[in-house]
Structure 1
């Protein structure tokens, strides 16, 4: 049986959401759950970024920049996904690899939907421990060991109805899976998607610069003993729009759009830095 640890990338993403909360795209982007889901030391890192005081120590500066840039990138990504959820409401929403996602609590649009969060057991237990302070109805937590469990069986046991439309949210997970694992997941999702279902998938296009930047960050973290969330969670696959679109179509999905984050940001009148994270990060929306 694989030994799982709670995702540290999920913590960085949550810190990014907390940094951006009501500070970028006011009226369009807000995530009041993010700060609540962080522990004290993780909140302190957010507060340093919000104060704008650049650390003198190089390792502290690297951590500062990671949180800051993550916050910038998450605004268009989050808004694009939230808008796609609202466009085609479904009575069931499944968030795959949920991490520290707060949608079940923060989106009024999901108040009447059955929300299921699927994640590996350790990350999900960590999330449940953190979420006790959040107000509102929690999602149905579905722990899945993808090495042993079938997604359909786990969801059915939690009450998911495969004969009814489902909105699937697959954010921030695809790069950490192999191409074979991504293909297998799309196959399982399609088998559980009744007519009227929607899949919203965030993935990474191949980028030499982005991969190099992650390697540099990992190397720089070692000398100072700095914890780097990417050290144990490397990228395993990247996709072109053509390859992702082909995969989705082969399993019965119709791709409505597939935009990079820089294009999304421009459509939101948000000024996006010309960074590889904006050009390589993508959000595709596909219906069945």
Structure 2
């Protein structure tokens, strides 16, 4: 999910960056009275994300454009699937084309990569979480794309939850003291998560009453031992160096969640075209 008001502001920035003063080629080559109908289509299999945002790019640039979206974010689509039909002034369609394609290709790339990670752990109880390691300015939309691929969103920003990492714990003196301080002040429905990379820290976090325990960069055997120790007294998240070839083993340790930034950082843009038929 995303806030359409905020997205409109982003679109204005994107169009300002890409168009500049005006589209010189379109102004020179295309009759101002000409109209056109174009079709956005998938040129490879993908999990779709950002199609409504792409439609907003066209209509934001030129309100006379009509954008008919015929696919839905989260759909797994095959090569050749028509995603959207746009009609209106030809100059405006050609000017807004690249900005619209850039965002839907980027977001669908993230959704498609995320889906691979989700599929890799589908045989376990674990759910995939995303992270805050997103492209600056695009977090809201990239996290939407991750959700389209089947992931659950972790914190959208630092105000969304309490995450006690090693430096927070060092400042407070101990896990027990850090959790106690947070518990006194945290909003009633907000969870407290503690990052642990050793078994003694896991035991302390459980005793302190942490809601979520992150097992950071532990090998699978130690992680399974930690899950057994926690024994359902807190939710358990595996994190650190998670890749597509390692995620299944992490999930099979019995954790509740596996978090990774890899779909954000390594997803290639998918191939989507805008054609006249």
TM-score by length of 2: 0.33
Question: Which one has a bigger Cα radius of gyration?
Answer: 2
Structure number with higher strand proportion: 2
Structure number with greater CO (CA < 8 Å, separation at least 6) is 2
